Amino acid sequence: MEIPLYLSGTFGELRSNHFHSGLDIKTQQREGLNVLTSADGYVSRIRVSHWGYGKALYVTHPNGYTTVYAHLKKFSTKIEAYLKKEQYKKESFEIQLYPKKGALQLSKGEIIAYTGSTGGFVSPHLHFEIRDKKSNPINPMLFGVSVKDDSAPSINTLIAYSLDSTSQINQSNAPLQINFTRQKNGSLLADKITASGKIGFGINTFDQLNGALNKNGIYSLELSVNGKKVYYHDLETFSFSETKYLNLLIDYKRYDELNRKIQQCFVKPHNPLSLYKGIVDNGYLTIIDKLSYNVEITVKDFKGNKTKLIIPIKGKKDSIIILKKEKVTDYRIHSENFNKFSENGVTIAFPKNTFYEDFFLDFKVNDGKVMIHEKSIPVNYNYTLTFDVSSYSNEEKKQLFIASYNSNGNPSYQTTKKKEKTFY
């Protein structure tokens, strides 16, 4: 754009159930600013929707990369004319078009659209992406998009985790929040802890850029033990197919209960994220009795500004006073198996790998009302909930409906006269 560059969102930020796939560029709280194509290319896709990206333009370049411009108010004259013709032909405002390569050629710096706030309840800004030949988003900062950033990331919270039933931290098997203080050199020093067995750490962190108050995402997170790196991830690129596994990067239960994202410095089982590099033993730390450890967590932004948190640990095999609470029920989920349970004419069926780990499922049916666990457990796949209505009268069956649920828990409904009702 033709205004100074300030960001309200950075690449890879932890959003609700996904990683942010581009940069959100501030538009001075205005609409109608010129949007210029970043390089020669052609319009390969036009998307118009009431939600999501709103009005969006995809431009493919000679090197195979594609840039994406979203939440637009309207397109340039020639693109708008092409769009209107197709909308009238299809008799639809919402539309997706894939123009042929020579239909809408563009030159670098050409006005292609005007900024807006389309796509739902969003304030005016320009969402900008760069995608590779496989349509994977790449951090635009790697291509020379530069913003001023003189401050190091902030760390708000440190959580220590006991990762099996025999490990403990300060005689607790449950997650613990550890206090820390800022030192004169700018680093953070945690209170000394005692521990034993397999443990891990997680932090809540954010970065702020010059000229903006927004709490943005970080670029990289590293954990080392006695000078040896055992965990690292950064936000250079990812695939859209893996973005939902954000729920395995964070402490999902704490996010659900406290609305705070704790980025865990260890890799849970069944986590396919490609962000990780050089991980040792999944980032787990095995603390041995009477030995001393110095753990360092380093957070960086793209400009290289960093914050270091130091955690001193003394190995001490002690009695466990605080146990991790786990509710035991009659229904045990084995995540790698197909699971099916029935109660009072209601059946629930979970395909293999619907969940990421084993746990006891809370499943109750009372007076025709079904309660299935709690929303603090992330779901990978859809599952079915079936009601046996063979004993219902024909009149009662007419009042029944199907509710379809996706893995995010969003329902849609339709009436039915079938004898069984299946929820997805």
The first and second tokens of residue 197, run together, are 């067995």
pLDDT in tens, 315-340: 999 999 999 888 899 999 999 999 99
What is the bridge-based pairing of β-strands 111-115 and 154-162? unpaired
**Closest-CA residue to 307 (of 154, 106, 95, 83):** 154
To the nearest whole percent, how much of the chain has pLDDT over 70? 94
The torsion defined by the Cα of 295, 281, 198 and 234, in degrees rounded to 10, comes to 50
Among 78-82, 136-140, 381-385, 399-403, which stretch is predicted with the lowest mean pLDDT?
A: 399-403
Helix, strand or coil, per DSSP, at residue 128: strand
Give the chain's mean pLDDT.
92
Residue 399 has what pLDDT?
A: 67
Per-residue confidence band for 240, with pLDDT thresholds at 50, 70 and 90: very high
Residue 390 has what pLDDT?
A: 82
pLDDT surpassing 60 at residue 405: no
Among 138-147, 155-164, 383-392, which stretch is predicted with the lowest mean pLDDT?
A: 383-392
Residue 421 has what pLDDT?
A: 43
20's CB contacts (< 8 A; 6+ apart) are: 9, 10, 11, 12, 13, 14, 217
Residue 412 has what pLDDT?
A: 41
Among 164-178, 359-373, 393-407, which stretch is predicted with the lowest mean pLDDT?
A: 393-407
Per-residue confidence band for 374, with pLDDT thresholds at 50, 70 and 90: confident
Neighbours of 333 (CB within 10 A): 19
Residue 401 has what pLDDT?
A: 55
Among 170-184, 309-323, 335-349, 399-413, which stretch is predicted with the lowest mean pLDDT?
A: 399-413
Residue 395 has what pLDDT?
A: 79
pLDDT in tens, 152-206: 999 999 999 999 999 999 999 999 999 999 999 999 999 999 999 999 999 999 9
Range list of β-strands (E), 279-330: 285-287, 292-300, 306-315
**60 vs 418, residue with greater confidence:** 60
Residue 400 has what pLDDT?
A: 64
